[in-house]
């Protein structure tokens, strides 16, 4: 049995979700017989980690600081093995611009996009290029911050008149924004579990929004406002393709342990597009990864046990060379 430092909370916009993920994981780790020290991460993190004398850290953080490679880098420096992806993969996943370029370069379909920094607008007059972008992407256009999460700051612009407001909203979350082609269709997620060399894709989850034309932050976390179906009702071919793209994205971005790949299935063409990869997806009992694992016969405790084993296995393989 291990001495586990459970990292949760933090100061990101997804703090509340992280606290819930952390509480579920903590209960599970204790059921599995581990000794757990829960740490709400803050400026005293290093001291608290040292006091915890942990063998391994379980990182149940989402968003900035916890999911973007910052905590991972620190844990690497401290020599403490931890769950999930390392700094490089976290950095790539957290920044949708970097992730989408990597996916596109690897031939993994992702909706067409243009990305701009605040400096492009302020210093280079990028606003003058908006009509050309609008002509290429066609309305509606999706406007989102590069480093988002939980649909925060995402707006659908139905016409040119909506674009400035959508940009302002997205820029309130990040200094870089994406204008992306809207894919009309079904919202799918494929969770991936396993070591870098042999990851496996779990059953596809479909998120079905109720009444809402957009699946937003509130819809996502208010019970009953979104229905999840797992496994999603898809033909074998689409399922196989979703698995293939998710595994491709996981490998391409260098993920380790677990991740969740969000996709859209375009209604008009039947084509799948990868929207993003979440390096640390939600781990509450009703989150998508735990639901998918459950559908594959892996209950929450078995999932937590596997994620922890992978963390320790990575340490051994690193030590071995
Ligand atoms: N290009 C797009 N076309 C259609 N829907 C989109 C598009 N981009 C995002 N969405 C919707 O917004 C949700 C959140 O977008 P996503 O890119 O996964 O960001 P995040 O989950 O990090 O906030 C998606 O699950 C989907 O419902
Ligand atoms: Mg998403």
Least confident of 81-90, 113-122, 246-255, 311-320: 311-320
Question: What domains can you pick out in the chain, each with its CATH number?
Answer: 3-83 (3.40.50.20), 92-109+183-317 (3.30.470.20), 113-181 (3.30.1490.20)
pLDDT in tens, 242-263: 999 999 999 999 999 999 999 9
pLDDT at 72: 98
Q: How far is the CA of 155 from the centre of ligand 1 (A)?
A: 9
Hey, whose CA ends up nearest to atom 19 of ligand 1? 151
Ligand 1 in contact with 68 (CB < 6 A)? no
pLDDT in tens, 149-189: 777 889 999 999 999 999 999 999 999 999 999 999 999 99
Q: How far is the CA of 148 from the centre of ligand 1 (A)?
A: 10
| CA atoms of 280 and 210, how far apart (whole Å) | 26
pLDDT at 151: 79
What tokens were used for 108?
A: 């993994």
pLDDT in tens, 61-70: 999 899 999 9
Give me the active site residues, please. 14, 150, 221, 260, 262, 276, 278, 282
* Contact (Cβ atoms closer than 8 angstroms) between residue 10 and residue 44: no
pLDDT at 75: 97
| CA atoms of 197 and 210, how far apart (whole Å) | 38
User: What pTM value is reported for the model?
Assistant: 0.94
The minimum-distance atom of ligand 1 relative to the CA of 153 is 23
Ligand 1 in contact with 63 (CB < 6 A)? no
Q: Which ligand is nearest to the CA of 184?
A: 1
pLDDT at 319: 45
Radius of gyration of the chain (CA): 20
Least confident of 81-95, 112-126, 177-191, 210-224: 210-224
The per-residue b/e assignment along 27-48, b for 16 or more CB within 10 angstroms, e otherwise, is: ebbeebebebbbbbbeeebeeb
Confidence of residue 321 (pLDDT cuts 50, 70, 90): very low
Confidence of residue 317 (pLDDT cuts 50, 70, 90): low
Higher confidence at residue 172 or residue 216? Answer: 172
């Amino acid at each position: 049995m291990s001495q586990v430092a459970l990292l949760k909370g933090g100061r990101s916009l997804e703090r509340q979700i992280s606290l819930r993920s952390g509480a579920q994981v903590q209960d599970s780790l204790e059921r599995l017989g581990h000794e757990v020290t829960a740490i709400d991460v803050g400026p005293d993190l290093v001291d608290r980690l040292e006091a915890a004398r942990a063998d391994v850290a379980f990182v149940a953080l989402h968003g900035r600081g916890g999911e973007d490679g910052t905590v991972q880098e620190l844990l690497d420096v401290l020599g403490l093995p931890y769950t999930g992806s390392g700094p490089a993969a976290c950095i790539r996943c957290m920044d949708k611009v970097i992730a989408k370029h990597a996916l596109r370069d690897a031939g993994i379909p992702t909706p067409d996009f243009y990305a701009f920094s605040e400096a492009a607008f302020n210093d280079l007059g990028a606003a003058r290029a908006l009509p050309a972008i609008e002509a290429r992407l066609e309305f509606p256009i999706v406007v989102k911050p590069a480093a988002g999460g939980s649909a925060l700051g995402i707006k659908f612009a139905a016409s040119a008149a909506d674009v400035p407001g959508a940009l302002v909203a997205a820029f309130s979350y990040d200094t870089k924004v994406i204008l992306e082609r809207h894919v009309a269709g079904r919202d799918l997620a494929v969770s991936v579990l396993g070591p870098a060399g042999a990851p496996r894709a779990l059953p596809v989850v479909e998120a079905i929004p109720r009444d809402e034309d957009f699946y937003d932050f509130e819809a996502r976390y208010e019970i009953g406002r979104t229905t999840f179906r797992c496994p999603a009702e898809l033909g074998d071919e689409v399922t196989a393709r979703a698995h293939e793209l998710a595994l491709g994205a996981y490998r391409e971005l260098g993920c380790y342990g677990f991740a969740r790949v969000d996709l859209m299935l375009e209604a008009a063409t039947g084509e799948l597009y990868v929207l993003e990869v979440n390096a640390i997806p939600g781990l509450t009992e009703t989150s998508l990864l735990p639901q998918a694992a459950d559908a594959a016969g892996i209950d929450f405790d078995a999932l937590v046990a596997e994620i922890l084993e992978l963390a320790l296995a990575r340490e051994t393989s690193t030590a071995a060379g």
